[in-house]
Amino acid sequence: MSSSTAIVFGGAGFIGTHLLEHLVSLGKYERVVSADIRDPKRRVAGVAYLTCDVREPIDPQALGPAAIIYNLAAVHTTPGHEDWEYYWTNVLGATHVCDYANAVSCDTLVFTSSISVYGPCEDAKDEHGLLEPNSAYGRSKFQAEEIHRAWRHAGEGRTLRIARPAVVFGPGEGGNFTRLAALLKKGRMVYPGRKDTIKACGYVGELVRMLDFSLTRNEPEITFNFAYKQRYTTQEICAAFNRVAGYKAPLGVMPLSIMLMGGLAFEILGLFGKKTSVNRARVMKLVKSTNIEPHVLPDMGYEYETDLEEALRRWQAAEPVGEFV
């Protein structure tokens, strides 16, 4: 079944919006489709927005054929959901997306997994590192990878790309880097437990470029990490915000014991109906390194367009008032 359509499952989110913008700009596809259960964070001109819940079987007649499928659909905030919710969306969703690819005879599939499949790691890990997911999210992403690989092996001439992004930041993110920028701007940032926690990260525009690069290769299957080659510490990330935006330096290091007591206090408040995103699990996530190295695509010749500081400059320039928040 021939087609000139690119479909992005999970296109309504932060990464999906940037990817859709790029796909439209290429002018390569007659039709670019976002299939998501949510309304888009920001509508992109030239994109057809369709409602689709990947937890349910996908009707190929409703979406039509596709030349390429990007599967970004996921429940990803962690902690933040019950364990079963990660499997319901991430594992069952992978199954339904692959079933849809079979139904419309699409031979190219791009899946965004996560560095969570490695688990927290103080020692550096590349794409050949041991997979030790320690959360329902990480385990569900690992299982989803295997479902996509099974799809690739089940047919001749199929192409699969599996990206394992670290923390992705940029315009419209609203996540870890946005919260960090807000704290630094207000002069309220303290280092959680230590200054030298390594947090692998990368700019959203760089991720889109890396996805494109991976598709220029002839290999039928590539699994790659997405992050900068330099693994930045929390202190280095704060210093980069200082140099780019003039934000204040953190106030100092708050002992882990105090932070855990604070997390427990918020958990107790939650029992009485005062719901917040603060808990001991989130505190521990802040102090554990994600020391992930990208080797596969750089070894194939991928050249980064940005580093952390240049990426922050681009993000700042892209915001209407030159702010990260």
Asked if the structure places residue 117 within a domain, the reply is yes
Q: What is the pLDDT along the chain (325 residues), one digit of tens a residue?
A: 456 999 999 999 999 999 999 999 999 999 999 999 999 989 999 999 999 999 999 999 999 999 999 999 998 666 566 888 989 999 999 999 999 999 999 999 999 999 999 998 899 999 999 999 989 999 999 999 999 999 999 999 999 999 999 999 999 998 889 999 999 999 989 898 899 999 999 999 999 999 999 999 999 999 999 999 999 999 999 999 999 999 999 999 877 777 767 766 776 777 777 766 666 666 667 778 999 999 999 999 999 999 999 999 999 999 876 677 6
Q: What is the DSSP letter of 199?
A: B
Q: What is the CATH number of the domain that holds 220?
A: 3.40.50.720
Does the residue 23 lie in any domain? yes
Check residue 260 and give its pLDDT.
67
Contact in structure between 287 and 197 (CB atoms under 8 Å): yes
CA 57 – CA 102 distance, rounded (Å): 12
Q: Which pLDDT does position 1 carry in this prediction?
A: 42
Query: Is residue 142 domain-resident?
Result: yes
Q: Is 243 inside a domain boundary?
A: no
pLDDT at residue 271, as a whole number: 78
- For the chain, the domain total comes to 1
Q: CA-to-CA distance for 201 and 204, rounded, in angstroms?
A: 10
* Domain range for 10: 5-173+201-232
In a domain, 278, yes or no: no
Instruction: Please state, as a whole number, how many other Cβ atoms lie within 10 Å of the Cβ of residue 227.
Output: 25
Asked, for residue 246, whether it belongs to a domain, the answer is no
Name the β-bridge partners of 202: 168
Say if 148 falls within a structural domain: yes
The answer to whether position 280 is within a domain reads: no
Interacting residues of 224 by C-beta distance below 8 A, sequence separation 6+: 127, 161, 162, 163, 164, 210, 214, 294, 296, 297
